[in-house]
Amino acid sequence: MRNKKRSSGLLVLAVLALTLTMLAMFAGVAAAQTETVIHTFQSGSKMDGSQPASSLVADGEGALYGTTGEGGKYGFGSVYKLAPPATEGAAWKENLLYSFTGGADGGNPWFGALVLNSRNGTIYGTTRFGGSANAGVVYKLTPGRPWVESVVYSFSGGDDGKIPASGVIQGPGGELYGTTMAGGPGGFGVVFRLSPPTEPGGAWTESTIYAFTGGSDGYEPLFGLALDREGAIYGTTEGAGDSGSVFKLTPRSGGVWTESNLYYFNGDLGGLPNSALIFGSAGALYGAIGGSPLGLNGYIFQLTPPSAPGGAWTESTLHDFTGGPDDGSYPNGVIFDSAGALYGATETGGANYLCCGGYGTVFKIRPPSVPGGAWSENVLYSFAGGSDGYGPNAPLLLLGGTFYGTTLIGGTPNQGTVFSFTP
């Protein structure tokens, strides 16, 4: 009996030691991977936005800028700035730079990151609606007290396109490039260019550099563009068949652009590109598939350029999301860290999957340790759907080892959040 009691005591001590070790491990993980809400939107005050669907950009002082699709003073969305605290742990300070009226100035700047001019602080962006024909605008915000909004271009809804939902990118000469998800000669969307005025106070010049036909070239270029060093433009379409495509626009002499399709997604495996593309090493492209006509959970892909001119691009799936409690569902794009790992967020899935489909995740995908090996994914954070936010709907921003992002809803009044995350 004495030996049995001693064995039982040792078993209890062993279990206790294991439990304490596991708790210490979990505490270490919790300490190393911290999600912090740095702003909760309060649109009921009329001086804050609601539903931040765009990704963030930062200035040289570490301040964050973004848009909300709704809310603001007039209910048609806003542009906001979040200034970091002077002392660690203090609150970030929000400043609503502009509230859209939904009229000639534009309305509902839902998707697409802003363009921030580092020299003078000028901001460029797009709104889905508003403008002279309620077909959307490209706008400019000039710093001041208050900030001044001016319309760079107002879409007619005809051959020039309508609903510029994806924001703009800026070229080396100050020109702006973007897409409209509809409009154009066939109504299938366009890629446009806005050239800056040649003299102070002059007008910007808009040109349609490609109009989609709705055939093999696709339709609905919903997400943003990427520009390479040679001036070529890359983007995605929501439709080409039923699954979407990746396209390239190459500038030619005389202002002519040539469109080529690099890849068509297979609807049986997944389709519907869900983010702008990013460049990796050796000209490879990376992006996210947010789902498919079959209701799959999305995946992260890599497109490798051909080894010889005229060859085919090669697509490979880096991670296929399961959508269960141990993984996310519907990724919203990826970014690289300095070590070559990819980070992103999913709109749903994660730890609360069994009760409600999950509130979204932050994930990391590590490159293989040996050439030709598999990439490995793990969930770094699962949103709880309460004050920490719900449904991250845009790519992350990386600043000095900390990631920043937005959740479309969640937060205390359920109007969305801006969060930071430290792996």
The closest of 87, 129, 94 to 109, measured between CA atoms, is 129
Three-class SS state of 21: helix
pLDDT score of 294: 58
Q: Is 261 exposed, middle or buried (0-12, 13-18, 19+ CB in 10 A)?
A: middle
pLDDT score of 242: 64
pLDDT score of 372: 84
CB of 382 closer than 8 Å to CB of 358: yes
pLDDT score of 269: 59
Token pair recorded at residue 14: 């062993």
Token pair recorded at residue 320: 């296929």
CB of 258 closer than 8 Å to CB of 219: no
For 31-49, the pLDDT digits (tens) are 346 899 999 999 776 789 9
Q: Please give the Cα distance from 291 to 349 (Å, whole number).
A: 13
pLDDT score of 31: 35
Task: Look at residue 3 and tell me whether its pLDDT is greater than 60.
Answer: no
HSE on the CB side for 285, CA within 13 Å?
A: 26
pLDDT score of 268: 62
Three-class SS state of 355: helix
CB of 295 closer than 8 Å to CB of 236: no
For 291-342, the pLDDT digits (tens) are 765 568 999 999 999 989 889 999 999 999 998 899 999 999 999 999 999 9
For 248-299, the pLDDT digits (tens) are 999 988 889 999 999 998 766 556 788 899 999 889 999 999 876 556 899 9
Three-class SS state of 29: helix
In this prediction the pTM is 0.90
pLDDT score of 201: 83
